[in-house]
C-alpha cells in the first residue's frame, strides 16, 4: 500500500487533530447512531493512544469498544476521481461509517487500511464515525484472553489479560488521511536495487482504462539528477557508479512513476528506495557483501502521554540516541512500527528487523509476559493462523521497498517447543519469502523454554534470534553462572544448526535509575552494567554470534502487576530518554566493535 503523497495527480488532506471520543459500555452498540453527531463525548487527539489522555483508571483500562468521530469537507473536484480514506492503524479492530453508512471493518492494530469513498461522500460536510475494539483474545495478534473474575458480594468483573509484557495501548494511533487519485491510477510499486547498480521495478495499475495506460519511469538521485529513464509496468535497468545504501552512508534514490493515457499524465508517484543487498554466508549476515554485526535493541514504539501514538519528535530523538550509543539496528518489538519510522530509518541508516504483531502465541504466558498461565496446547487452542497469514502479506506489502528493512520476524516468543509449532510456522515462513521479491532473511524469535533439544522451528529460520535472561529470571545475581549457562546454550544451538548465524534478540535486567550499590546488587545501575559486560564477553568468545540486541531501548509501560514497578525497567534509557549507567558502557563497547 502506497504512503499518501502529493503529486501532480494526487491531493492529500490531513484528518488528524482533535476528534470527539466516547467509551462504550457494551460492544456492538450505537451503530444505529453512527450518522448522528456524538453527544456526551470528550476531546481526543488523533493520532494517539487514548489511555493516558485523561485521568481515571477505569478510563485507561477500559475493555471493549470506543467510538471516535469528526467531520470533514469534500468539494466537487475531489469527487471527480477516486477519493480514499486511509488509516495508518487502529488498534485492534475498526468498524468505519461515513454519514451513517458502513464502509467496512479491519482487524489488526499495526498496519494501514483504506476505503474508497467517492460514492458515499457528499459535497460539503461529511460525518466520519469509527468504532474501535481493543480486546485481545486467541484470534487476535497480539494474543490475550478474556477472564471473568468473581468476588463475594460483588458483580462479576470481566478483564482482558494480554499474553504479552507491554501495556495494551489502543485507539486511532497513527495518522488518518483523505486523498485523491485519478480513475486510472498507480495502485502499487515494487522496486529494489542491488549493489552492482542493477534494479528492477513492477508497477500495478488499476482502473477501467488500465490496459491503455503507458507507464514511464525515471530514477533520480536525491538531489534531483536523473540517472535512468525507462518505460513499462515492469522492467529492469542498471546505473553506473551507484551510491550504495549503508549504515554509514544511507544513500537513497527515487523511482518516479508517471502514468499516461494518450498525451495526458493521469497519475504520478515517487517511491524512495536504495541500492543494497542482504545475504547470509559463513554464519554471518552480510550487508553489500561485507559482514555486519548487529548492535542495538529490541525497541517499543512508546512514550508518555501519547502512548503508542505516532510522535515524529520522539521517534527522531530515539534514532538520534541510537546513533549516539553507536547502535546500528533494532527490532520493531513486538509489532510493525509506523511508516514514518521506516522512512526515518531509511534516511538515517538504521538496520531494521521488521516484526509482525505475533506476540503472546503461547497459552502458558500470563499478563506479565512470564510463564505461569494455563497451557492447554497452544497450537490446538489458538485461532490465529489465517489472520497471521494476512498480517504477513500486509507487512511485506507495506515495507518491501525500504532499504532499512534487512529481515522479517514472523513472531516473538511463541510456544516453539510445543508439538504443532513447526506445522504452524512453516507455511508462514514460506509465504513471507514468496511475497518478498528481495528474499530477505526470515526468523522466529524464541524464548528460554525453546532449548536446543526442544525447539521445533530452528531449521525454519535463516538466522537464529534468541531471547535469554540468564542472570535475571534465573541464576539471578550470579553472573558467572549465568554466563556459563548462556554459553552452553548458544553452543548447543550452533551444534544443531552449524550454518546459521545467531544473535541475542533480548537480554537485560530491570534497573531503577539512580539506584546504586557498591556490590552491584539486583535492580541497581551497577548490576545492569555488569550484566551487559558478562553477556558481551560470551558473545566475543563465539565466532558465530552475529549480533546483540539488548532488551530494551527505553523503559516502557506494562500491565499492572507486582513484578513490574511502574512498568518494565530494563531500559538502557529511562522512559524520558535519560541514559542509565549501562548506556555509557554500551556506547564504548559498540564504538570499538
> Is 475 strand, coil or helix?
coil
Other beta carbons within 10 angstroms of residue 272's beta carbon come to 19
Catalytic residue among 95, 339, 355, 506: 506
Q: Is 506 a catalytic residue?
A: yes
Q: What 3 state SS string does 101-133 have? A: EEEEEEECCCCCEEEECCCCCCCEEEEEEEEEE
Q: How far apart are CA 238 and CA 67, in angstroms?
A: 51
Residue ranges with strand state E in 213-317: 214-221, 226-231, 234-238, 253-261, 264-273, 278-281, 284-287, 290-291, 294-298
Asked whether 292 and 328 are in contact (CB, 8 A), the reply is: yes
> Is 10 strand, coil or helix?
strand
Torsion sign over Cα 354, 561, 304, 586 = negative
Among 336, 329, 349, 346, which Cα is nearest to 308's?
A: 336
User: H or E element: which one contains 318?
Assistant: helix 312-324
* Residue in the structure block whose three cell numbers are 493521469: 266
Q: How far apart are CA 504 and CA 373, in angstroms?
A: 25
Torsion sign over Cα 238, 242, 245, 246 = positive
Q: In Å, how far are 48, 124, 470, 471 from 474, measured between CA atoms?
A: 37, 63, 5, 6
Q: In Å, how far are 66, 242, 360, 529 from 364, measured between CA atoms?
A: 30, 51, 9, 31
Q: What is the DSSP secondary-structure string of 376-439?
A: S-HHHH---HHHHHHHHHHHHHHHTT-TTEEEEEEEES--TTSTTHHHHHHHHHHHHHHH-TT-
Catalytic residue among 413, 418, 525, 548: 413
Q: Kindly report the CA angle at 538 between 536 and 544, in degrees rounded to 5?
A: 105
Q: In Å, how far are 5, 74, 456 from 13, measured between CA atoms?
A: 10, 10, 48
Q: How far apart are CA 214 and CA 260, in angstroms?
A: 5
Question: Hey, which residues are catalytic here?
Answer: 413, 506
Amino acid at each position: 500500500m502506497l504512503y499518501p503523497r502529493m503529486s501532480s495527480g494526487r491531493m492529500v488532506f490531513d484528518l488528524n487533530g482533535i476528534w470527539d471520543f466516547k467509551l462504550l459500555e457494551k460492544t456492538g452498540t450505537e451503530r444505529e447512531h453512527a450518522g448522528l453527531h456524538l453527544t456526551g463525548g470528550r476531546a481526543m487527539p488523533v493520532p494517539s493512544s487514548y489511555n493516558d489522555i485523561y485521568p481515571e483508571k477505569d478510563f485507561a483500562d477500559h475493555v471493549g469498544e470506543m467510538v471516535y468521530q469528526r467531520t470533514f469537507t469534500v468539494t466537487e473536484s475531489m469527487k471527480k476521481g477516486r477519493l480514499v480514506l486511509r488509516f495508518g492503524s487502529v488498534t485492534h479492530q475498526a468498524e468505519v461509517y461515513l454519514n451513517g453508512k458502513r464502509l467496512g471493518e479491519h482487524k489488526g492494530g499495526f498496519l494501514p487500511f483504506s476505503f474508497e469513498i467517492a460514492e458515499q461522500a457528499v459535497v460539503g460536510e461529511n460525518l466520519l464515525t469509527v468504532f474501535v475494539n481493543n480486546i485481545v483474545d486467541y484470534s487476535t495478534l497480539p494474543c490475550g484472553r478474556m477472564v471473568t473474575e468473581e468476588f463475594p458480594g460483588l458483580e462479576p468483573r470481566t478483564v482482558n489479560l494480554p499474553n504479552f509484557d507491554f501495556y495494551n495501548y489502543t485507539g486511532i494511533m497513527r495518522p488518518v488521511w483523505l486523498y485523491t487519485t485519478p480513475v486510472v491510477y498507480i495502485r502499487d510499486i515494487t522496486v529494489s536495487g542491488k549493489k552492482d547498480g542493477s534494479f528492477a521495478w513492477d508497477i500495478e495499475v488499476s482502473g477501467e482504462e488500465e490496459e491503455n495506460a503507458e507507464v514511464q519511469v525515471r530514477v533520480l538521485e536525491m538531489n534531483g539528477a536523473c540517472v535512468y529513464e525507462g518505460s513499462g509496468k515492469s522492467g529492469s535497468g542498471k546505473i553506473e557508479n551507484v551510491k550504495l545504501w549503508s549504515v554509514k552512508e544511507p544513500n537513497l534514490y527515487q523511482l518516479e512513476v508517471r502514468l499516461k493515457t494518450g498525451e495526458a499524465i493521469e497519475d504520478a508517484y515517487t517511491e524512495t528506495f536504495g541500492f543494497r543487498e542482504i545475504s547470509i554466508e559463513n554464519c554471518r549476515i552480510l550487508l553489500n557483501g561485507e559482514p555486519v554485526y548487529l548492535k542495538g535493541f529490541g525497541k517499543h514504539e512508546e512514550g508518555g502521554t501519547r502512548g503508542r501514538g505516532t510522535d515524529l519528535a520522539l521517534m527522531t530523538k530515539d534514532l538520534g540516541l541510537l546513533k549516539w550509543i553507536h547502535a546500528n539496528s533494532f527490532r520493531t518489538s513486538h509489532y510493525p512500527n509506523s511508516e514514518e519510522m521506516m522512512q526515518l530509518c531509511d534516511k538515517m541508516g538504521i538496520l531494521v528487523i521488521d516484526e509482525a504483531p505475533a506476540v503472546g502465541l503461547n497459552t502458558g504466558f500470563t499478563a506479565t509476559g512470564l510463564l505461569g498461565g494455563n497451557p492447554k496446547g497452544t497450537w490446538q487452542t489458538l485461532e490465529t493462523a489465517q489472520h497471521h497469514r494476512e498480517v504477513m502479506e500486509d507487512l511485506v506489502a507495506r515495507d518491501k521497498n525500504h532499504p532499512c528493512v534487512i529481515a522479517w520476524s514472523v513472531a516473538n516468543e511463541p510456544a516453539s517447543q510445543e508439538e504443532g509449532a513447526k506445522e504452524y510456522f512453516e507455511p508462514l515462513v514460506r509465504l513471507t519469502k514468496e511475497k518478498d521479491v528481495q528474499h530477505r532473511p526470515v526468523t522466529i524469535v524464541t524464548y528460554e523454554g525453546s532449548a536446543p533439544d526442544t525447539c521445533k522451528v530452528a531449521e525454519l529460520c535463516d538466522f537464529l534470534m534468541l531471547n535469554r535472561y540468564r542472570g535475571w529470571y534465573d541464576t539471578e545475581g550470579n553472573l558467572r553462572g549465568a554466563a556459563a549457562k548462556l554459553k552452553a546454550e548458544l553452543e548447543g544451538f550452533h551444534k544443531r544448526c552449524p550454518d546459521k548465524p545467531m544473535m541475542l534478540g533480548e537480554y537485560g535486567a530491570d534497573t531503577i535509575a539512580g539506584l546504586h550499590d557498591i556490590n552491584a546488587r539486583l535492580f541497581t545501575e551497577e548490576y545492569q552494567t555488569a550484566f551487559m559486560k558478562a553477556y558481551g564477553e560470551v558473545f566475543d568468545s563465539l565466532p558465530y554470534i552475529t549480533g546483540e540486541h539488548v532488551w530494551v531501548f527505553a523503559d516502557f509501560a506494562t500491565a499492572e502487576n507486582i513484578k513490574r514497578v511502574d512498568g518494565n525497567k530494563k531500559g538502557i534509557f529511562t522512559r524520558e530518554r535519560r541514559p542509565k549507567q549501562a548506556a555509557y558502557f554500551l556506547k564504548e563497547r559498540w564504538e570499538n566493535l
